Structure 1
Amino acid sequence: MPDITQQLYLWIQQIQASAQTGLAFNPNAYDRERYEEFLKLAARMAATVNGNATLDAQLADALAQKWRAEVGEGIPGYVTPKVGVGAVVFNERDQVLLIKRVEGMWAMPTGWAEVGLSPAEVAAKEVREETGMLVTPLRVIGIYDVAKVRGDFNPHFYSILFYCRLDGGELRPHPVETQGAGFFSRDQLPAPMSPHILARLELAWKIHRGEASPVWFDQ
């Protein structure tokens, strides 16, 4: 995707988010009309970027209606980035736990944050559900703005990555959410794996070796 297209998608999502957030806080009739017009404008822009002139009007109407229906009320309607949570786990042989996602890429266990659970609880839950292993999160490795890595704002989300202690369990890859799971040595990592996952694993290995490492965060 060209850089200009990425930037257009970002602007579209920012207009969409601002309009949805404005509608969430019970605006007066005049402001409500303005916010709805901004929502329609963002939908027309998204349809145009789609590049199919025949579908532009139809797609724009459908998008605007969908986005309007998604508006919550008050604070729940304030549009913010989503939050993902991941876990890096090593065994006694200094091998790292990885899963093969349904799309075929290898990565550490991850999942979306859940209402009622802390980020650390989500990390332990995802490891247990995706691999069968039991862990205790010990520290945060990094907080990542995934859009800065992928250039993809759909959806825009932050990822919190934990360094975890392995407590036990039995390796049982989830039959639906993964294509497999296992522990791998640093010099025998599976492929394919994205460069940003490799970079996060390198930081995790430093922490595992006891090297001082502050929490990483994107500027």
Structure 2
Amino acid sequence: MELKWLEWAKQMQAIAQTGLTYTKDVYDIERYEQLRQMSIEIMMNYTLVSQEKIALTFASDSGYATPKVDIRGVIFKENKILLVREKLDGAWALPGGWADIGYSPSEIAVKEVKEESGFDVAPVRLLAVLDKKFHDHPPEPYHVYKFFILCKIVGGEATVGVETSAVDFFEMDQLPELSAERNTKKQIQTLFEFLENPNKEIILD
């Protein structure tokens, strides 16, 4: 479960962002700006990130506040799962990343798998939509929904990308160090259940 201070900071930022989007009253604008500044100060006091960076990445959005979407491609081959090693932390993850505007979830999965692993894939089905706050990920400033989309290889070959340094397939009992920010061991275990039972129902939350 999320740390309380992080939950409060996210909620304060969302309220401020949405309020600034719709209010016309100058006094309300001032109050929402103060609320946004308080959310920045909470993040700044409980993390090692500078106020300037927090303001740019955490409290710079406009419009109605909504969760961010992280999409991961799930590819099995010979009872092994495809993982890529992230350059940022040297750990392994399902290929994927933030959803881009203008692309469908399936298109994002195909695009990210190609860019990070070199494989050409075709989407097969949605396996799970998870709220990141319910899972054992490190604290982060965003509210994130994670989409896991099963794909099949139709071409290409294992090739590292700009953000990856290795590509490989792993059995469930031989997983490497996982990038906890991107996926957890429990999530990978759950995905292997779909390999054993292709008719398993989609998982929500």
**TM-score, with normalisation over the residues of structure 1?**
0.79
The Cα of 1:29 is off from its aligned counterpart by 1.5
Question: Does residue 181 of the first structure (1) align with residue 178 of the second (2)?
Answer: no
Which residue is equivalent to 1:134? Answer: 120
The Cα of 1:205 is off from its aligned counterpart by 2.4
- What do you get for the CA RMSD once the two structures are aligned? 2.8
Question: Does residue 29 of the first structure (1) align with residue 26 of the second (2)?
Answer: yes
Taking the aligned partners of 1:71 and 1:169, their CA distance within structure 2 comes to: 37
In structure 2, do the counterparts of structure 1 residues 130 and 66 end up closer, same or farther at CA, with 3 Å as the change threshold? closer
Matched residue type, 1:86: R
In structure 2, do the counterparts of structure 1 residues 65 and 94 end up closer, same or farther at CA, with 3 Å as the change threshold? closer
**How do 1:39-118 and structure 2 match up within 5 A?**
39-49=36-46, 59=51, 70-72=60-62, 77-91=63-77, 93-102=78-87, 103-118=89-104
Matching residue within 151, 165, 170 for 2:157: 170
Between stretches 153-162 and 201-210, larger displacement belongs to 201-210
From the two aligned structures, give the one with the greater helix fraction: 1
The Cα of 1:24 is off from its aligned counterpart by 1.3
Moved over 4 A (4+): 62-69
The Cα of 1:200 is off from its aligned counterpart by 2.5
Question: Does residue 203 of the first structure (1) align with residue 190 of the second (2)?
Answer: yes
In structure 2, do the counterparts of structure 1 residues 66 and 137 end up closer, same or farther at CA, with 3 Å as the change threshold? closer
Taking the aligned partners of 2:114 and 2:13, their CA distance within structure 1 comes to: 36
Higher Rg: 1
For the residue of structure 2 that corresponds to 1:206, the secondary structure is helix
Taking the aligned partners of 1:99 and 1:41, their CA distance within structure 2 comes to: 38
For the residue of structure 1 that corresponds to 2:169, the secondary structure is strand
8 Å contact kept, 2:58–2:141: no
8 Å contact kept, 2:10–2:142: no
Q: Which runs of 5+ in 2 are unaligned?
A: none
**Aligned sequence identity (%):** 32
In structure 2, do the counterparts of structure 1 residues 44 and 214 end up closer, same or farther at CA, with 3 Å as the change threshold? same
Taking the aligned partners of 1:100 and 1:147, their CA distance within structure 2 comes to: 24
Matched residue type, 1:28: D
Q: Which runs of 5+ in 1 are unaligned?
A: none
Taking the aligned partners of 1:27 and 1:64, their CA distance within structure 2 comes to: 26
Q: Aligned pairs, how many?
A: 200
Matched residue type, 2:146: S
Higher relative contact order (CA 8 A, sep 6+): 2
Taking the aligned partners of 1:34 and 1:18, their CA distance within structure 2 comes to: 11
Taking the aligned partners of 2:54 and 2:168, their CA distance within structure 1 comes to: 44
